Structure 1
Amino acid sequence: MTASVLITADDLRALLAGGAGIRILDVRYRLGFTDGHEDYLAGHIPGAVFADLEADLAGHGEPSDGRHPLPSDAALEEAARRWGIGQGQTVVVYDDSRSLPASRAWWALSRAGIADVRVLDGGLGAWRAIGAATEEGEVTPPRGDVVLGRPGATDVLSTEQVAGWGGVLLDARAPERFRGETEPIDPVAGHIPGARNLPIADLLTDDGRFRSPEEILSAFEVVGAAEEVPIAAYCGSGVTAAQLALAGALIGREVTVYPGSWSAWSNTPGRPIEVGAVPAEEDPLDE
């Protein structure tokens, strides 16, 4: 994949002005706040349909499954049709939270076979910054006819598979959570043994846009995520890990996601836990 997974606000406005038949999804969501629907109703990109991360882009299970396990393949297809996505249609996703939930939507829909899913770089803030119009109220599109693939669990990692992972394992959480100094949500603080910390914030600018491919590539290589080694990612609950996978796509690096992430690992009895920073002199390729 290439940088085409991102779209600028100017390019999106031009597509809409030209009558391009794209489907836009508003994926506003913040942990501990609302589902974003009220904010969506108050103002969104014209034609955008609201997509609920908790209800449609995540499943529900036991604590050992994590807070945001994958929805079933059938459930995701039903949601995609309800959003009005047609077969072969380009989809643009955005949010107002540094492209975090939008990245989950990009990842879920891309792995299910939608060939052209793009994330609005900078989200709703970038759209408003160019003076583009918004509209209020609900958009209820005609039902779509998209047929999604059935990837199941073929291209993601389970807790057992993570325990035996032979490549580089990246932890996308903030450094203090990685080191185990604080844990505001999950039952245990720390990180998965052998993981390397690559905070997603390091890959974004202050206004929530992705940094240049050169900067992202450098950040990956600093933590040992070189081109020739398998790369996997986790976070708190599988949402930020999807954003790290998107960052990997921008530089041509395939990143396998552990959807259960720390919320699953820390809720599975008997799983080992490390705390503290990884020693600087430790070579990740020699682990």
Structure 2
Amino acid sequence: MTGPLVSTDWLSGHLNDTVLRLADVRWYPGEPDRGRRAYEEAHIPGAIYVDLETDLSAARGPGRHPLPDWDVFAARMGELGMGDDSVVVAYDDRGGGVAARLWWMLRAIGHEHTHVLDGGLAAWTADGNPLTGDSPNHAPAKLTVDLRSGITVDRDELRNRLGAVLALDARAAERYRGEVEPLDPIAGHIPGAVNAPYEGNLDADGRFLPAETLAARYRGLGVGGETETVVYCGSGVTACHNLLAVEYAGLGEALLYPGSWSDWSTAGYEVATGPE
């Protein structure tokens, strides 16, 4: 199996594979316990719950969801049963908007056998597949950290490279333009950034658009040339959806600005508003 996405058909056919580790990564802004409650009520059989706030983020750092120490992250995933031989499939109910964060983080430490369920929970149930309230009890496993280099930028590096890199903003258009800002203290975007809302990667059913369609979208935004691409969002979560889409489209890999707007907007740096 290759590629960042798996279909519901593939998952239903491999649900009993002993190497499969299915991760429910549902999360809702401002409601830290809602995702776990939803998981406990009903989830895809065999899934464990992975918490964005406590498992995929550090308590302190740049932005609202700073990356954790990589060894701490790997140890936590190992406690949940993810090991070097595991095939990890992450899902949520936002078209992969949160699940892609786990996909990217596992890839960052060198775990290649990680994927996102295309269409997530909605596609799984729409295709007639079952849910359960039972939780698995996986034995702890060893997850090795082989950290890839050069996959992130911090705010100072990005600031110094503005104009020399293509910055993509994965937030909704109204947040990019500075018309609203529900989460961070200042509205707007990083100067020179191009808006690429992550929802634009999805069709009406919440599944990823075909690779060739995504390739056309991102080439139209400037991805794929000689200029390096950096992706950000509000806090380094949904930006990973765009990173996945760019890779799925066959356009290589882009960089993540983990602190994203929640870091930039509190640093006193330049802010732009409007459509450009």
Partner of 1:99: 96
Partner of 1:167: 165
Equivalenced residue count is 272
The Cα shift of 1:210 comes to 0.8
3-state DSSP of counterpart to 1:93: strand
Partner of 1:283: none
Conserved in 1, the CA contact under 8 Å of 2:45 and 2:134? no
Corresponding residue to 2:111 among 103, 108, 114:
114
3-state DSSP of counterpart to 1:4: coil
In 2: Cα distance, 1:3 partner to 1:194 partner: 35
Corresponding residue to 1:157 among 145, 153, 161:
153
Alpha-carbon spacing, 1:272–1:3, altered in 2? closer, same or farther (3 Å): farther
User: Structure 2: which amino acid aligns with 1:48?
Assistant: A
Corresponding residue to 1:220 among 212, 218, 221:
218
The superposition leaves residues 90-116 of structure 1 with CA deviations (integer Å, 9 ceiling, x where unpaired) of 111111122111000000011111111
Partner of 1:53: 52
Conserved in 1, the CA contact under 8 Å of 2:32 and 2:53? no
The Cα shift of 1:261 comes to 0.3
Partner of 1:39: 38
Partner of 1:282: none
Conserved in 1, the CA contact under 8 Å of 2:19 and 2:85? no
Note the aligned Cα RMSD (angstroms): 1.6
Conserved in 2, the CA contact under 8 Å of 1:5 and 1:250? yes
Conserved in 1, the CA contact under 8 Å of 2:47 and 2:136? yes
Conserved in 1, the CA contact under 8 Å of 2:232 and 2:257? yes
Q: Percent identity?
A: 38
Conserved in 2, the CA contact under 8 Å of 1:73 and 1:149? no
Partner of 2:128: 131
In 2: Cα distance, 1:180 partner to 1:86 partner: 42
In 1: Cα distance, 2:58 partner to 2:256 partner: 16
User: Structure 2: which amino acid aligns with 1:210?
Assistant: F
Gaps of 5+ in 1: 279-287
Choose 22-31 or 129-138, whichever is displaced more. Answer: 129-138
3-state DSSP of counterpart to 1:164: helix
The Cα shift of 1:3 comes to 6.7
Conserved in 1, the CA contact under 8 Å of 2:229 and 2:255? yes
Tell me the TM-score normalised to structure 2 length.
Answer: 0.94
In 1: Cα distance, 2:134 partner to 2:214 partner: 37
Gaps of 5+ in 2: none
Where do 1:1-40 residues align within 5 Å?
Answer: 4-17=3-16, 19-35=17-33, 36-40=35-39
In 2: Cα distance, 1:20 partner to 1:137 partner: 17
Deviation >4 Å, runs of 4+ = none
Alpha-carbon spacing, 1:61–1:52, altered in 2? closer, same or farther (3 Å): same
